Amino acid sequence: MATTTTIRPRVLVRASGGPRYAVALAVDALGTGLLRPFLLLYGVTVLRLSAPATGIAMTAGVVVGLVCMPAVGRWLDRGARSTVVAASMLVRVVGVALLLATQAGNAGQFAAAALFLGIGNQAFPAAHAALVSTVAHGRERDAALAAGRALRNAGLGVGALLATACLAGGAAALQVLAAVTGLASLIAAALSWSVRLHVRPAATAADTPTQAGDDGPAPRMRALLAANMVYVFCLNVPEIALPLVLVTQLHASPVWSAAIFVANTVLVVTLQVPVTVLMSRFPRRTVLALSGVVLTASYLGFLAATSLGDGWGAPAVAAVSVVCTLGEIIYAGSATALVSHLAPARALGRTLARFELSTGFGLAVSPAVITALAPRGPAALWGTLAAATLLSASAVATERDRETRPRFGLGFGLGFGFGSGSGSGFRFRGRSGAARR
């Protein structure tokens, strides 16, 4: 059957966890966008910490937050879904409360706040992916994950824009933004918890018929996890690599960096779901390998663009950034979906946790790697990224697993078929506590 590319928003919302959960994601992303991009500025401006001390505390929070991922995976495999999502948001509420209570000049208290914020930020993606993987299966799940990413990017972008407009208020404005972030996370946690989605820990292959290998061992995914740590560098290219290259090497106006970042956000929000649906006609592993090829081509494009010098260099970099964003969209739409497909139901949480651990590690080290390579010249930066990404794409393409071409279409134009069968291992609990679908 040919793949159907008709997207029904209402059905997509159901596959993503329902209207309340979609609102929770939007509220949480909006609140996160108010503070997350400006946390370093908060430490320097409000708490009067040095930039190095603030950066070290933030990095430590991210790295230590990764340590919680095995526990998150085990919690998910015991059946929790919406509770884990809500808990990741509540941990961030604690982080914001500690941040607001931090005294000026106290780096230790700021580090504690950054730690809780880091734990929440690291735990959320795996919990969210597990929840969506429980509600939707097959290609419907892939599109639902893509929709969640698009919604989250939209919320983060709007929040960052609102925060930017408020920065003229100085330290007081940053404190208000932090308080609003905490309130938004609290509201989002309450909405997420109200979804009341839980899975029977003893779910079997019959419970989730579209999940590959439910009765087999958990996939090792060694090549995939290693490649993912390289792939995620693309997420920091618009925020770190391009501004650094544009300002220090091409001597361009910072306006170019801002324009590229805005364009990246808009493209992700508008194209993430359509591109993911379009790619659904191919095996997920093939699509993930293709994303590596596209990213490699964009890195080589950046290398060529920087050779143009101060005149045409900046416009050329901006043009190539569109290709890089397309590679990012293809990567984001296939990576988590592939991992969710490969994971057996009994080890879905631990498998997603391992994947998010590799993602978090890659995001943590990428700023240091990029800033270390950039001063050595364009060839060192973009050549290294291109070679590493192409090698990763090759590893992804050749790793063996149970991934097979789908035997049926995407189904957006045909409906999802929720409610069929009586053996499903998950429950939505309403106010009456009765199980429903």
The answer for residues whose C-beta is within 8 angstroms of residue 373's C-beta and 6 or more apart is: 380, 381, 384, 385
Distance CA 285, CA 73 (A): 23
pLDDT at 275 over 70: yes
| 8 — pLDDT class (breaks 50, 70, 90) | low
| 419 — pLDDT class (breaks 50, 70, 90) | very low
Q: What would the two tokens of residue 26 be? A: 């939007």
Give the tens place of pLDDT for each residue, 115-154. 999 999 999 999 999 999 888 878 888 888 998 899 999 9
| Overall pTM > 0.85 | no
Q: What would the two tokens of residue 150 be? A: 């698009």
- 427: β partners: 198
107-135 vs 138-166: helix axis angle to the nearest 10? 150
Instruction: Answer with the residue of higher pLDDT: 64 or 315.
Output: 315
Contact between 93 and 186 (Cβ < 8 Å): yes
In this prediction, residues 275-297 reach a mean pLDDT of 95
Give the tens place of pLDDT for each residue, 172-211. 899 999 999 999 999 999 999 998 888 876 443 444 444 4
pLDDT at 5 over 60: no
pLDDT at 402: 52
Q: What percent of the chain has pLDDT over 90?
A: 52
Instruction: Answer with the residue of higher pLDDT: 432 or 253.
Output: 253
Give the tens place of pLDDT for each residue, 305-356. 999 987 889 999 999 999 999 999 999 999 999 999 998 888 899 999 999 9
Give the tens place of pLDDT for each residue, 228-242. 999 999 999 998 899
Contact between 139 and 406 (Cβ < 8 Å): yes
Q: What would the two tokens of residue 313 be? A: 């260099």
pLDDT at 252: 87
Q: Evaluate the CA torsion angle 429, 190, 364, 36 in order and state its sign.
A: positive
Annotate 364-408 with DSSP letters as a single string.
Answer: HHHHHHHHHHGGG-HIIIIIHHHHHHHHHHHHHHH---S----SS
pLDDT at 196: 85
pLDDT at 218: 67
Distance CA 126, CA 352 (A): 5
Q: What would the two tokens of residue 372 be? A: 């270390």
In this prediction, residues 408-437 reach a mean pLDDT of 35
